Structures are given as C-alpha cells and as structure tokens.
C-alpha cells in the first residue's frame, strides 16, 4: 500500500470516528480521577467530623448528667463526724451512717442521700431547696436545723429544731409539714406528727465532734454555734488552713489550745472573744 493510499485510509477512519462521535456511539474514555478522589475525601472527612462531634457531645452529656458524687461514712459510734458542704450547710453524721452528695450542687436544688442518722443545719437558699432522700422519706427544706433518724430505731423519725420541713412518704406520697418543736414518726407505713419529747437529741451531736481536713473557718463557725459565753475569731490568712481534730465536751479555751497545737498557732483571749493567730 502506498503513502497516498494510507492517507486516504486515515481520512476515511477519521470521518467514520467523527460520525460515530456525533451520533453518541463512542464511550467516554477520559476518567477524571482527581475530582472523584477529592469529592470522596471530602465526604469521608465530613463523616469523621460528624462522628467526632457526636462522640464529644455524648461524652459531655454523660459527664453533665452524672455529677461527681462524694460519700462520707462514720464508723465510730462514739463520735459525730462534722462536715460543711459547699453551700455552707453543716452535717453532723452519727455513727454507722453514710451521706452521699454531689461535689457541686445544681443551681435549682441541693440533693443528698442519707443512710442512718444525722443532724443538719441547712443554709438558706430559696432558689435551691435542700432535699434529703432516705429509704422511706423525702425531706425538703429551705433553711433550718433538724435531726433525722433512720438507722434501725423503733421508728424512723425527723425532729425539727428550727424552721419548717416538708416530709413526704415515698410509699404512697403522703406528706406533711413539720415545724420547730415537732417530730414526725413513720409508724404502720404512715406519717404521724407529735410534739418533740427528746429535746437533748440536738445537743447530743456536739458532745464529741470529729473534723477531718476541714477548713479552719468552717470549724470555727461550727464551734461558735455550739458554745455559749465566748466566741472564737481567726485572722483572714488562716481561713483556708485544714484541720483534723476531735473535740469531746471541751471548753472554748481548751479547743483553742488544741487547734493551736495542731496548726502551730497562738491564741489570746479578751473577755468573751478568743482570737487565734500566727
């Protein structure tokens, strides 16, 4: 075949290819691999971002819905374990008793759980009622002091020293309000309100008080609530010092002396005021 004949053949093939291409009978052979890979990568990245975001949301949700819980347990039947909660409320926990509470209270309520006996001095906060859950009762207060007994006595009871408390029976929802000088007793699965007979039950908790790693300012505040005739003061730089000590029917000056020995401090007394300082 001559070169001329080859040129004619090529021209014929070109005309046929153009005709087939115009008629849409040829398959596209150019593959845009890079754009396809980029789109797939973007889709994968978007999926990963959604997955990570959702995972972080779930983890954060778990953490916020389940606040960190703390527990205090007193295994000494002869001492009262005294602790101040973050809201300023004071718990006097009796022997063989346990209190569970969150490290940080919610803004709209302060919920704790009690197994056993305890005396509470609750700080006032109308926006966040203080709620105590026991095995049989739900106790709601705004600011008061009262004694709860639920540790194997003849009948579970609650006695109010000051303020007003609302008590609800968990079994059937029966509720009643208890004021200072009154006691509610659970008997035959019902709430029964009576006058408080044992007026010494409140002061019994302060006869032998044990503090463990409590802020000195909180310890002094508790002591001042439970002594008469004299008050203690500390300088501001000592407020955050931590104290572990047990006081057993001690006089004010002997308690001041024990504090100073434990923390290497000094004290002086001027009439009805004891001042603790460095």
Alpha-carbon gap, residue 241 to 214, rounded angstroms: 8
Q: pLDDT per residue over 146-192, tens digit each?
A: 899 887 666 899 999 999 999 999 999 999 999 999 999 999 999 99
Q: What is the largest CA-CA distance in the chain?
A: 134
**What would the CATH number be for the domain defined by 206-277?**
3.55.50.30
pLDDT score at 19: 52
Residue 209 CB-density burial (10 A; 0-12 exposed, 13-18 middle, 19+ buried): buried
Long-range contacts of 211-214 (CB under 8 A, 24+ apart): 211/82, 211/83, 211/243, 211/244, 211/245, 211/246, 212/81, 212/83, 212/244, 213/242, 213/243, 213/244, 214/82, 214/83, 214/84, 214/242, 214/243, 214/244
Residue ranges of the chain whose pLDDT lies below 70: 1-66, 152-154
The architecture in CATH of the region 69-200 reads: Sandwich (2.60)
pLDDT of residue 273: 97
**Residue 22 pLDDT:** 56
pLDDT value of position 13: 53
Domain 206-277 in the same topology as domain 69-200: no
Q: Where are the domains of the chain?
A: 33-66, 69-200, 206-277
Q: How, if at all, do strands 190-195 and 164-169 pair?
A: unpaired
Say what the pLDDT of residue 44 is.
Answer: 34
Nearest to 137 by CA among 69, 196, 186, 198: 186
pLDDT in tens, 246-276: 999 899 999 999 999 999 999 999 999 999 9
**pTM score, whole prediction:** 0.74
The pLDDT, as a whole number, for residue 153 is 64
Contact by Cβ (8 Å): 100, 71? yes
Tokens 């002094």 map to which residue?
Answer: 220
Report the pLDDT value the prediction gives residue 249, as an integer from 0 to 100.
Answer: 87
């Amino acid at each position: 075949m001559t070169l001329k004949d080859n040129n004619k053949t090529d021209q014929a093939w070109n005309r046929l290819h153009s005709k087939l291409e115009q008629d849409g009978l040829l398959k596209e052979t150019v593959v845009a691999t890079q754009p396809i890979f980029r789109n797939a990568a973007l889709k994968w990245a978007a999926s990963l971002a959604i997955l990570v975001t959702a995972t972080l949301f779930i983890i954060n949700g778990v953490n916020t819905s389940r606040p960190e819980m703390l527990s205090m347990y007193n295994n000494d039947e002869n001492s009262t374990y005294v602790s101040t909660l973050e809201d300023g409320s004071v718990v006097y926990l009796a022997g063989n008793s346990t209190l569970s509470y969150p490290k940080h209270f919610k803004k709209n309520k302060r919920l704790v759980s009690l197994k056993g006996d305890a005396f509470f001095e609750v700080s006032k906060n109308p926006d966040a009622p203080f709620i105590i859950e026991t095995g049989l009762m739900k106790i709601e207060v705004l600011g008061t002091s009262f004694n709860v007994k639920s540790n194997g006595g003849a009948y579970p009871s609650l006695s109010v020293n000051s303020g007003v408390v609302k008590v609800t029976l968990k079994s059937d929802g029966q509720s009643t309000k208890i004021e200072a000088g009154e006691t509610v007793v659970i008997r035959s699965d019902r709430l029964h309100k009576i006058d408080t007979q044992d007026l010494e039950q409140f002061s019994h908790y302060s006869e032998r008080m044990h503090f463990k790693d409590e802020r000195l300012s909180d310890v002094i505040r508790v002591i001042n609530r439970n002594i008469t005739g004299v008050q203690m003061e500390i300088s501001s730089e000592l407020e955050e010092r931590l104290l572990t000590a047990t006081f057993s029917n001690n006089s004010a000056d002997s308690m001041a002396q024990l504090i100073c020995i434990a923390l290497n401090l000094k004290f002086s007394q001027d009439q009805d005021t004891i001042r603790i300082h460095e």
